[in-house]
Amino acid sequence: TTRQQPYRTGYHFQPAKNWMNDPDAPMIYKGIYHFFYQYNPKRTVWGNIVWGHSASTDLVNWIPHKIPIYPSQPSDINGAWSGSATILPNGKPYILYTGINPRDDQVQNLVVPKNASDPYLRDWVKSPKNPLMAPTAQNQINSSSFRDPTTAWLGHDGRWRVIIGSKIHREGLAILYRSKDFVHWTKSQRPLHSAKGTGMWECPDFFPVYINSQIGVDTLVLDKNVKYVLKLSLDDTKHDYYTIGTYNQTKDVYTPDKGSVDGDSGLRYDYGKFYASKTFFDSAKNRRILWGWINESSSVEDDVKKGWSGVQAIPRSLWLDKSGKQLVQWPIKEIEKLRVNPINLSNKELKGGSVLEVPHVTAEQADIEISFEVSKFGKAEVLDPRWTNPQLLCSQKGASVRGSLGPFGLLVLASKGMQERTAVFFRIFKGHNKYIDRSIVESFGGGGKSCITARVYPTLAINGAAHLYAFNNGTESVKIARLSAWSMKKAQIS
């Protein structure tokens, strides 16, 4: 029950128990959304890795299915690690994933549906040709750094391409393989992309995005009107970074645009907890959807006590910003069907140093959209030119550090006396949206241009005792132009 399990989420994907990490092979097949994930069926910590599987018609409510991929061949006997699905032109979904062999080498394997007429894809058959790609003395691949195949794409020459994350010393690599039949793969001399000093590239994701449109593009489409995105999960920092650039199909190389930087000084999908993410093209609604793993912040002991570890972020639509320089993300529309009991506020002045409670919401499980209007821009603090790192600045100038125009925003998962609270705030004006789900706060600032996800474990602000406040800790007043808050129903998940 929620009494004993205050941190179990109401509408974020999580299995009934045990450990979950990366999202794997998300896809839509015959009108059914499929979600697979890295799963330890035995414990609440990482290990014994198999794939979990759930299916849905709306990406909100899920029905669990049996384990689709577990160690059974020499090529995956020590683990079935991350991988991706490709829908072939004949409509069949093929999954490439990393297996750990008896020598603990990382190799790439193929599974195909046993019965392609089953929309639930309950049974999978491994290729007898596995492994299809493996480190050898000739190809000089690092056998402990060769994993996480992407969705494959077709070149004009009719050959498939796929990339696999790797490194040589400190140089991160997206190793490229080609194939005519999806079974026999040949390594390209040149990686699709590489960058010195970035360490191991886990879970690469490579996909096109339309210029000037929110509509998604299938990875198979070689359109002229697109830019490409290469996302890398850096093992060193455990964050997901991306660049935007161009893909030269003749040379089979990806080049980030000027100003789009590789590695940990580049752009992130999310500036909180969000890792090993993966997108897929939703052909039913012509959008690209992003899944990402939100790890716990709690101790292993606490995870063992609560019996589970790891949740998935709300699936997000993602597209290229008008500037062409960054991506924009927004929770899928379907999540709004869990909204009940709307509370609306508008044109409300929030004086400097004041707090306003937003009543009548289940503050531990809510969705809030808020926009502020700031008029006295002249009163804003002067930005010190030495403050070049926004994250550092945020940690030094927290919500309790008084300013003039802000900090203002929301205090979520707050206890009555506000001993416990999580502040989501601005010092400048933009639109903002937040999702609170018991131990998660997912926020989408500036219409989805900057996203921050946090794990929170309140001890007082749980169940009915959580409160929601708007606050202004600046000296100047700001106006809440519009606030809408909804209590969120529980989704059916496990």
Q: Segment 168-197, which members bind ligand DQQ (CB under 6 A)?
A: none
Is 22 considered catalytic here?
yes
HSE of 362, CA atoms in CB hemisphere, 13 A: 15
Three-class SS of residue 302?
helix
Minimum distance of ligand DQQ from residue 450's CB (angstroms): 23
Minimum distance of ligand DQQ from residue 18's CB (angstroms): 13
Minimum distance of ligand DQQ from residue 40's CB (angstroms): 9
The β-bridge partners of 471 are: 355, 409
Among 9, 14, 15, 22, binds ligand DQQ (CB under 6 A): 22
Question: Which one, of 313, 312, 277, 299, lies nearest residue 45 by Cα?
Answer: 299
Work out whether 150 is an interface residue with ligand DQQ (CB under 6 A): no
Mask of contacts with ligand DQQ, 228-267, x by CB under 6 A?
A: ----------------------------------------
Three-class SS of residue 72?
coil
Residue nearest to ligand DQQ (CB): 81
Q: Answer left, alpha or beta for residue 132, where phi above 0 means left and psi between -120 and 50 means alpha.
A: alpha
Work out whether 21 is an interface residue with ligand DQQ (CB under 6 A): yes
Contact 204, 82 (CB under 8 A): no
Minimum distance of ligand DQQ from residue 149's CB (angstroms): 10
Minimum distance of ligand DQQ from residue 241's CB (angstroms): 14
Burial class (CB in 10 A: 0-12, 13-18, 19+), 415: middle
Question: Which one, of 398, 382, 381, 405, lies nearest residue 478 by Cα?
Answer: 405
Q: Segment 73-132, which members bind ligand DQQ (CB under 6 A)?
A: 81-82, 98
Parallel/antiparallel/unpaired status of strands 478-488 and 365-373 = antiparallel
Taking the least distance from each CB to ligand DQQ, the nearer of 24 and 420 is 24
Taking the least distance from each CB to ligand DQQ, the nearer of 165 and 448 is 165
Among 25, 27, 49, 164, binds ligand DQQ (CB under 6 A): 49
Write down the catalytic residue from 22, 24, 235, 367. 22
Minimum distance of ligand DQQ from residue 16's CB (angstroms): 19
Taking the least distance from each CB to ligand DQQ, the nearer of 148 and 303 is 148
Among 132, 163, 232, 276, binds ligand DQQ (CB under 6 A): 276
Parallel/antiparallel/unpaired status of strands 408-414 and 365-373 = unpaired
Q: Segment 410-449, which members bind ligand DQQ (CB under 6 A)?
A: none
Minimum distance of ligand DQQ from residue 124's CB (angstroms): 18
Contact 97, 82 (CB under 8 A): yes
Among 96, 192, 195, 202, binds ligand DQQ (CB under 6 A): 202
Mask of contacts with ligand DQQ, 352-381, x by CB under 6 A?
A: ------------------------------
Work out whether 147 is an interface residue with ligand DQQ (CB under 6 A): yes
Q: What does the alpha-carbon distance between residue 87 and residue 69 come to, in Å, rounded to a whole number? A: 18
Please report the sign of the dihedral spanned by the C-alpha atoms of residue 160, residue 204, residue 316, residue 215. negative
Among 148, 205, 218, 270, binds ligand DQQ (CB under 6 A): 148
Tell me the C-alpha to C-alpha distance, in Å, between residue 26 and each of 65, 74, 82, 278, 280: 14, 26, 11, 8, 6
Amino acid at 337: K
Taking the least distance from each CB to ligand DQQ, the nearer of 56 and 82 is 82
Element of type H or E holding 301: helix 300-306
Task: List, by residue number, the catalytic residues.
Answer: 22
Question: Which residues sit at the interface with ligand DQQ, rule CB under 6 A?
Answer: 21-22, 38, 49, 81-82, 98, 147-148, 202-203, 276
